[in-house]
Amino acid sequence: MQEASQDQSPASARPALGSLAMLWRFARHYPGRIAGALLALIVSSAATLAIPSGFRLVIDRGFMGGGDISRWFEYLLMIVVVLAIASAMRFYFVSWLGERVVADIRTATQANLLRQAPRFFEENRPSEIASRMTADTAIVEQVVGSTVSVALRNMVTGIGGLIYLFALAPKLAALLLLGIPVILIVLVGLGRRVRGLSRASQDRLADVGTITTEVLGAMKIVQAFGQEQREAERFAGTVQNSFDTARQRIRLRAIMTALVIGLVFGSITAVMWQGALDVAAGRLSGGSIAAFVLTGGLVAGAFGSLSESWGDLLRGAGAASRLDELMQVQPDIVAPSTPTAIPAAREGGRLSFDQVHFHYPTRPDQAALNGITLDIRAGETVAVVGPSGAGKSTLIQLAQRFYDPDSGAVRLNGVALPDADPAALRAVMAMVPQDSVIFAASARDNLRYGRWDASDEQIWEAARAANAESFLRALPQGLDAYLGEGGARLSGGQRQRLSIARALLRDAPILLLDEATSALDAESERLVQDALGRLMQGRTTIVIAHRLATVRAADRIVVLDEGRIVEEGDHAALIAQGGLYARLAALQFQDAVA
């Protein structure tokens, strides 16, 4: 999907409106609404075309025929009432369809995104995806809820009007048709270029959203390093690129509109000229030429408006293709057709890594793990230490099957992870990440993310064990307090303790701690370590940590460096070896003394 933002992507090479077929997949689930919209559209177009006929009767039979003129004006008023009601019904049905289809597209797209492995979001910017979910769906809503209806109405009105023109004056109507092929050539020829520019315009708009999200999310860093002016210039450049692309699209659409309207109304004027000569010669009645002029104006307006609708449809096709890419992408990590059940272990679970080699998709030239073989027994606590970039967090990500190794195997209780259902695998694990993830929701919902059916009593028990109870009770609304985006209303240590409480609440047999105490002060860390010590009993635990307070409590310490296991043993044995672990410990003690 990386090519999605390129103007020459496969999507942009599709037939002009082929991408709109995706919209039909969702709209067809509501046949009653579609039928109502089509019926209202046909009735409103028929009523529109009946108005010139009414004026013809008023002129020929009212003014010229000497009859009851009020009767024909009553006929006209009846047509207007029908037109008003049918137009209102058409607006209701198509607007409802637009909102419903967009809601369904957003739901389907989000559901498919939730199936994707982390690799997908490394290769595709979440902010660009968010732009598709907002800006592109807004365009789709306009297309389904307005443009398609207007285009169909203009087509029905135009075609119906042409039929009526042939009934009124075949010769004049035939002359009028001579200009239609030229109009169609203009629409098709320029329309392809408009579609390509429409897609490019949406891509540039996504770039604007990406920079906005990135800079606003890092505002403290931007201001701390005095980069406001540079970021303003970078944003202005991106906005200018978006404007330049939109300007090209607008200019091309303006040219297309001018050509189509000029050709249509030029043809109408030439035909009316001939019609006036026919009236003067007595070959047409005054009512007939009046009806022809009015109908010709409606036909001209209908086909002229089609040029604008065509441009909107092309823009909608570009947006639909970008959304369809998100819905069609297949996840890298899927459950097998017949998953193997993970047998229960007496205490926790046994995790084993057998000759595991792994490269991150975004760093194919750098090995994250290089031939790792590690057997973690049920109920054992293993601490994994090493310098930054050694591959410590990668072990946890492979254990949760966020990625599959390039070679080798990872097993849980003897079952190779690709043979199990990823959901079942992750259900027996609790995770505390290095960077706390707090949702823009209440404290209760953030804690219940570990176990959604937990009671308030269980929530408070977990919070108490993680040393989070005091600050949670101090919040204005307690568990109902809104924590802000990313937990902005909490300190770093409070966010980390909330993450620990969430993992405690999950009460899973396997515990994964990735620098779980990195953001805690000394006193909070001591209390949390006590809680973690109790939590680890009877569970398999992988602890990634630099602080020796956590490492010393482990049954075994594994030292990684450059994706390899370089040392293994308990604290005392590793210190005695005088290797990498001893050097890391010495640096930590030196920092502590300083």
Q: What is the pLDDT of residues 253-278, one digit of tens each?
A: 888 778 777 777 777 777 777 777 77
Q: Which CATH architecture has domain 351-593?
A: 3-Layer(aba) Sandwich (3.40)
Of the spans 74-88, 162-176, 219-233, 543-557, which averages the highest pLDDT? 74-88
Residue 56 structure tokens: 């013809």
Tokens representing residue 368 in the block:
């994250």
Question: pLDDT at position 594, please?
Answer: 40
Predicted confidence (pLDDT) at residue 52 exceeds the cutoff of 90: no
Does 314 have pLDDT greater than 50?
yes
Within 10 Å of residue 289's Cβ, how many Cβ atoms?
Answer: 22
Q: Which residues fall within 8 angstroms of residue 54, CB to CB, at 6 or more apart?
A: 72, 75, 76, 79
Phi, psi of 11 (to 5 degrees): -60, -40
- Hey, how many other C-beta atoms are within 10 angstroms of the C-beta on 181? 9
Architecture of domain 19-328: Up-down Bundle (1.20)
Give the chain's count of helices (H) and strands (E).
Answer: 22, 10
Task: Name the residue ranges covered by the structural domains of the chain.
Answer: 19-328, 351-593
Across all residues in the chain, what is the average pLDDT?
Answer: 81
Model pLDDT for residues 126-183, shown as the tens digit of each residue: 877 887 888 888 888 888 887 888 888 888 888 888 888 888 788 777 777 776 677 7
Q: Which of 448, 430, 421, 431 is nearest to 508 (CA)?
A: 430
Helix (H) or strand (E) holding 41: helix 31-57
Q: What is the pLDDT of residues 354-375, one digit of tens each?
A: 999 999 888 888 899 999 999 9
The residue written with tokens 């009526």 in the block is 164
**Do β-strands 407-412 and 415-416 pair in parallel, antiparallel, or remain unpaired?**
antiparallel
Residue 412's closest CA among 357, 371, 358, 352? 352
Measured between alpha carbons, how far is 588 from 7 in angstroms, rounded to an integer? 52
Q: Which of 17-31, 110-124, 389-403, 541-555 has the lowest mean pLDDT?
A: 541-555
What are the Cα distances from residue 56, in Å, to 70, 82, 273, 458? 14, 19, 19, 81
User: Rounded to an integer, what distance in angstroms lies between the CA atom of residue 367 and that of residue 407?
Assistant: 12
- Those residues with Cβ within 8 angstroms of residue 562's Cβ, 6 or more apart along the chain or in another chain: 367, 370, 389, 390, 391
H or E segment to which residue 375 belongs: strand 367-376
